[in-house]
Chains A and B, each alone.
Chain A
Amino acid sequence: MSFILELVLYAAIGTSYWWWSQNLSFYGLAPNLLFAAALAAAILAGPVKAIAWGFFLGLYADMLGAGTLGGYALTYSLLAYAVHTLKRHFDMAGLFPQLVAALALSWLSMFFYQGLSLAFSRVNPLGVKIFLVEPFLNALAVPVVFQVFHGLKRRTGIL
């Protein structure tokens, strides 16, 4: 049952991200809900599940884009591992650590993905506008997504 619920949640996040970026983007800018979900799942779930969530959410992002397949999957898998490591030293359930982690990991992820993309596809996937603004939008989205996931985990036991 928990597995089915997680599948539903995964599809819901993917759809929300896709729909938001299609319909509610402002000058081409929208929070990266997949990133926010990967981070929130990494904070709440155990290490294996967190990395799996990161991988599959990254795969979703790869499928929506036309870039290198597996780039985001690897990026978000590493993100989940980094959060797992950070959790040992910081209380990631607090708002401030989440904001800082979202900002810092957003930029790190972007750099990493850009490096992968340049290395494997010879393309630069991210514009300056996204690079400068999206981390802040992500920082706003992460606490919200975290609260949603936290509520779902408390009620249904998923993650």
Chain B
Amino acid sequence: MSREKDAANYALVFFAALSALLLLLPASKFAHAARIAVSYSLYPSMHYGAKYGHFVRNVPSNFVKLLETDQENRALKDRVRDLELKLRNASALTAENERLASALRLSRSLPWSGTWARVVNKTPSDWYGSFYIDKGSRQGVSVNDTVLGMQGERAGLAGRVLEVYPEFSKVLLLTNGAASAVCAIEPGGLEALVEGRGARLLKMNYVPEESALAEGAELVTSPGGLLFPPGVSVGRVTRVYPRESFMNFITADVSPAVDVNTLKEVFVVKRNISGDMAWVRLGDKK
């Protein structure tokens, strides 16, 4: 203990003497050298402290700014989300507007009177079979009215009205396996029956073997058909099958003029078919 005390005393005397020297001789070479040496040894910490001090100098205010930025960021994200929704909605409205404008332009050129209707429901299990439109008996839609779809600048046969309700109707598509239409093959006007088969393509039957049917031939509804007005585009022949040995007719695949996958609006042609046609129901081949 005494030895420790002695050491402490010696140390105190030594450092006190050193301090006293510095105090007593502030302008001496020794004091000056000591100041320079210590200043030089302090230089790195002060230099780098000053250099990087700005990173932490404004920590409190920066933290507040960070919080404010975060809040602003959240608000802006919400706003961007709202605007994106509005933009999508606007895009859909613009597309619809373009479609309707095009349809209106076309409807003026159509030789038939009728009404435009929107496709309101498609059933995936009956995709090529039928869909619903938002016009019914109150808008003057009747059973067996012809339903046209627009494909580009052209109107094509989509199907016919199968069931009518006050505010909506059910449309039987031409691609339905139970639907058919009597068609004329352009330009000669040779008649054949086009039938749906529950798929995208139609099937053409009863084409005389000797007819010069070729791929790419245009089909329109025949004047001899009862349900559909004549001259409506039905589709185009995509493949001709050779005659079967047991048949006198040839068959062909027909690509419909209207793609039911892209239909959004349809034009319902008022046919005013007389009451004696009321017997035409699903499955009647006309």
Query: B14 — nearest CB in chain A belongs to which residue?
Result: A51
Contact indicator A19/B53 (Cβ below 8 Å): yes
How many A-B residue contacts, CB cutoff 8 Å?
90
A52 to B4, CA, bound (A): 15
Which size class do B's interface residues fall under?
20 to 34
Contact indicator A14/B23 (Cβ below 8 Å): no
B199 interface residue per 8 A CB criterion: no
Given contacts A69-B23, A71-B23, contact A55 B15 (CB under 8 A): yes
Instruction: Tally chain A residues at the interface, Cβ within 8 Å.
Output: 32
A120 interface residue per 8 A CB criterion: yes
Given contacts A48-B8, A52-B15, A81-B8, contact A74 B23 (CB under 8 A): yes
Query: Secondary structure of the A side of the interface?
Result: helix
CB of B112, distance to nearest CB on chain A (Å): 85
Contact indicator A120/B38 (Cβ below 8 Å): no
CB of A30, distance to nearest CB on chain B (Å): 14
Given contacts A68-B26, A69-B31, A120-B26, contact A48 B7 (CB under 8 A): yes
Contact indicator B15/A51 (Cβ below 8 Å): yes
Query: A74 — nearest CB in chain B belongs to which residue?
Result: B19
Q: Which residues of A contact B10 (CB under 8 A)?
A: 48
Q: Residues on A close to B: CB < 8 A?
A: 11, 14-15, 18-19, 22-23, 46-48, 51-52, 54-55, 58-60, 62-64, 68-71, 73-74, 77-78, 81, 84, 116, 120
Q: Residues on B close to A: CB < 8 A?
A: 4-5, 7-8, 10-12, 15-16, 18-24, 26, 31, 34-35, 38-39, 42, 44-46, 49, 53, 56-57
